[in-house]
Structures are given as C-alpha cells and as structure tokens.
C-alpha cells in the first residue's frame, strides 16, 4: 500500500504577530489571520510565519458572542518582524503603558508596526507617530486628531506609512494595506496571487479615497443584467445609450430609468468605471503598451484612458503600472 504524505515546508519568513485583547474586533483579526496565517505552500518556505499574543488575561471576549484564549503573552512581540493591531477595544479606552513600551522596543530594533481601523489609536499612544501622518476610519479621524495633535491625520486615504509604521482605514482598507505589505516584501506577483485567492479586485493604492462613490446595485432592474454582462465581456466595442437600450428592447427613457435603478449610475459613468477596472487588470498583467491597453479597454486612445484613469484613481496608467509591476520589492521574493 502506498501512503502519500503532504509535507508542508518549514517557514522561515518574517514573523507576523497579531494582538488579541478583551473586546477583540473579530473581523479585523480574521483578516490578519487569513492572509498571514493561512497555509500557502505555493509561496515557498520564505513565506510569513504567524502567531498571536494576548494583551489581557484570558479568556477574552470577542465580537460575536464568544471567548478566546491566547497561546502567547506579550513576550511574543520580542520575536516579531511585523506587529499588527487589529482594531482596539474603543477609541476612548486607554492603551496600557506596558503595551506601549513593548511596541516602542519592538520598533526600535527594526520591526514594522501596522494597524487596522481603530488600532491606529494604539500606535498613536506609543508616540512613534508624532510628526508623521496616519489614517484611521473616517468616523474616528476627528477624535484621533484631537487627542494627538502632533500627528497629521489623513482621513481620506485607505492607508498611510510613516517610519515603518502603517495605519489603515476601515476593515476592507486593512486588506489593502496587508496586500501592499506583501507587495513590498515579495513583489507584485505574490501580492496579486494572494489577492486572487481572496477573490479581491485589483489592489487599491493607499492614496485612494476611503469613500467609494460607486454605489451598490439595487435589486430592481434585473432585466438589464444580460446587457451588463455583455458589455463587460466586450468593453472595446462602441456602447452608446441607443445601442444599450436596443439590446434591452427598451425605449431610451425606460432604459435610463431601469439602468439607474439597477446600478445607481448613468450608463456613461458605469461604462467608464468598468473600463478603468479593465485597464487596471491589463496593466497588472505585466509591461504593456498604454495605447494597446486603451484600445482593449474601450477608451480608444491613450489620452482618453489617462484622463479617466487619473480622474478615478488619482494617478496615471504609467504610474500605476510602475508601482505594481515594474517596481522591485524591498524584501524577500518568492516564486509563484
């Protein structure tokens, strides 16, 4: 009888340690554990190692009506290469002096610190963000600004970095930040691979706005769904309102009303958003001619692509491609 044994590689990469605390923000911690702690044998032995440590004595409460116990105490921080603060108990709850001291020591020896959402208040309490720029969820920005006037609070960006300290906005922005850390450590290919496994769209840059103006589709108007799928599959075609309405066998007036009900947007705005997203996807595949990307995504010319790309994302297609494809990572790389 043949027995097959799946031998997992012994990981030697950076050690990521996430904080656990009473009142844990469960989703924020889950983001960190999912990305850094899930087995990823395709990334090779230099991939991240993961551990968590308790700020408080266990058992600790977690959002969702359950309790957790930490395997490690704060002494685990002394081994960490990256420390992640997944939210905090509350923006008005003081950060223990012991934790602040530990984080300062960890940072001084070269480790990176990162926070998701209200976790920025923990990093701010260490004093390490003084004179720098940080972000947090827009709901908490004014409180962070008032409590720590020595910090420039950016309440618009998804994430910011200052002196090896990363802060991010809401929960989804935490995913963007972690993908960015992976890109810095292992390169764009690895970051894109993780994003695909998470079923994430193209990675959002830190300077992108927290407020996403693209509305969520309503349930009404599902009769235009086949049209939306057809347009997405053929973005290079010339899609006028008249043509779209004809595809749906509707008058233009009825079509415009149904389209807005289904997407929350005009056909023109929706089409531009879809074409920008397609251009992002093409640019992330590797070095590409901007004119070819413009034609394939339906913009027709590089000038039109640059106009809408910069208007939607705040950077040019070339800058986007350089950042996510051409730029060399600052740390280890793995083959995927």
pTM as predicted? 0.67
Q: Per-residue pLDDT averaged across 140-166, rounded?
A: 93
pLDDT in tens, 27-41: 999 999 999 999 899
pLDDT score for 211: 44
Q: Per-residue pLDDT averaged across 303-330, rounded?
A: 77
What CATH homologous superfamily does 222-326 map to? Homeodomain-like (1.10.10.60)
8 vs 287 pLDDT, higher one? 287
pLDDT score for 282: 87
Residue 299 pLDDT exceeds 60: yes
Q: Where are the beta strands (DSSP E) in 6-81?
A: 15-20, 49-54, 60-62, 66-68
Could you give the CA distance from residue 85 to residue 120 in angstroms, rounded to a whole number? Answer: 8
Q: What residues contact residue 92 under an 8 Å CB cut-off, 6+ apart?
A: 143
pLDDT score for 329: 43
Q: Could you tell me which CATH class the domain 15-197 is placed in?
A: alpha beta
Closest CA to 121 of 111, 134, 105, 107: 134
Assign 336 a pLDDT band (cuts: 50, 70, 90): very low
Could you give the CA distance from residue 92 to residue 95 in angstroms, rounded to a whole number? Answer: 9
CATH 1.10.10.60 in the chain, residue ranges: 222-326
Q: Per-residue pLDDT averaged across 117-122, rounded?
A: 97
The angle at the Cα of 259, spanning 253 to 265, to the nearest 5 degrees, equals: 115
pLDDT score for 205: 54
85 and 136 Cβ atoms separated by less than 8 Å: no
* % of the chain surpassing 70 pLDDT: 86
Long-range contacts, 273-280 (Cβ 8 Å, 24+): 273/214, 273/312, 274/231, 274/232, 274/235, 275/235, 275/299, 275/308, 276/308, 276/309, 276/312, 276/313, 277/201, 277/202, 278/235, 279/305, 279/309, 279/317, 280/202, 280/313, 280/320
Q: Give the number of C-alpha atoms closer than 13 A to the C-alpha of residue 116, restricted to the C-beta side.
A: 27
Q: The dihedral of CA 150, 155, 156, 159: what is its sign?
A: positive
Write the burial class of residue 237 (CB in 10 Å: 0-12 exposed, 13-18 middle, 19+ buried): exposed
70 and 54 Cβ atoms separated by less than 8 Å: yes
Which helix (H) or strand (E) segment holds residue 85: the answer is strand 82-86
CATH 3.40.50.880 in the chain, residue ranges: 15-197
The three-state secondary structure class of 174 is helix
pLDDT score for 271: 94
Lowest mean per-residue pLDDT among 100-104, 270-274, 326-330: 326-330
Lowest mean per-residue pLDDT among 71-85, 235-249, 253-267: 253-267
pLDDT in tens, 179-221: 989 988 988 788 888 888 887 755 555 445 444 444 444 434 4
Only one residue has tokens 């618009």, namely 156
The angle at the Cα of 118, spanning 112 to 119, to the nearest 5 degrees, equals: 25
pLDDT score for 330: 41
Could you give the CA distance from residue 40 to residue 46 in angstroms, rounded to a whole number? Answer: 11
Q: Per-residue pLDDT averaged across 288-292, rounded?
A: 87
Closest CA to 172 of 241, 117, 230, 246: 117
Assign 108 a pLDDT band (cuts: 50, 70, 90): very high
Could you give the CA distance from residue 314 to residue 263 in angstroms, rounded to a whole number? Answer: 23
pLDDT score for 201: 57
pLDDT score for 204: 57
pLDDT score for 100: 97
Residue 7 pLDDT exceeds 50: yes
pLDDT score for 203: 53
Q: Supply the mean pLDDT for the chain.
A: 86
The three-state secondary structure class of 297 is coil
Q: Per-residue pLDDT averaged across 175-181, rounded?
A: 92
Q: Per-residue pLDDT averaged across 111-121, rounded?
A: 97
Q: Per-residue pLDDT averaged across 146-169, rounded?
A: 93
Only one residue has tokens 């491609």, namely 321
The angle at the Cα of 201, spanning 200 to 205, to the nearest 5 degrees, equals: 105
Only one residue has tokens 């490690």, namely 72
């Amino acid at each position: 009888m043949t027995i097959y044994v799946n031998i997992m590689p012994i990981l030697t990469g950076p050690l990521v340690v996430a904080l656990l605390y009473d009142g844990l923000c469960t989703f924020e911690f889950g983001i960190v554990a999912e990305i850094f702690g899930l087995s990823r044998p395709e990334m090779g032995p230099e991939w991240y190692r993961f551990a968590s440590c308790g700020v408080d004595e266990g058992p600790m409460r977690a959002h969702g009506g359950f309790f957790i116990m930490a395997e490690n105490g704060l002494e685990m921080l002394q081994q960490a290469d990256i420390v992640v603060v997944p939210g905090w108990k509350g923006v008005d709850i003081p950060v223990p002096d012991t934790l602040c001291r530990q984080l300062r020591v960890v940072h001084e020896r070269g480790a990176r610190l990162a926070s998701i959402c209200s976790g920025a208040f923990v990093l701010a309490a260490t004093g390490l963000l003084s004179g720098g720029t940080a972000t947090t969820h827009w709901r908490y920005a004014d409180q962070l600004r008032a409590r720590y006037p020595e910090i420039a609070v950016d309440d618009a960006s998804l994430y910011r970095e200052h002196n090896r300290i990363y802060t991010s906005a809401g929960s989804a922005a935490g995913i963007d930040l972690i993908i960015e850390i992976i890109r810095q450590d292992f390169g764009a290919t690895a970051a894109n691979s993780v994003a695909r496994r998470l079923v994430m769209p193209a990675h959002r840059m830190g300077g992108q706005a927290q407020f996403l103006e693209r509305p969520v589709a309503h349930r009404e108007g599902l009769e235009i769904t086949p049209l939306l799928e057809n347009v997405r599959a053929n973005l290079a075609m010339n899609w006028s309102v008249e043509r779209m309405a004809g595809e749906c066998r509707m008058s233009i007036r009825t079509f415009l009303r149904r389209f807005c009900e289904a997407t929350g947007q005009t056909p023109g705005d929706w089409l531009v958003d879809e074409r920008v997203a397609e251009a992002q996807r093409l640019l992330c595949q590797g070095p590409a001619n901007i004119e070819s990307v413009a034609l394939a995504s339906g913009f027709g010319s590089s000038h039109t692509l640059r106009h809408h790309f910069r208007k939607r994302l705040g950077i040019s297609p070339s800058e986007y491609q350089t950042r996510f494809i051409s730029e060399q990572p600052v740390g280890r790389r793995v083959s995927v």
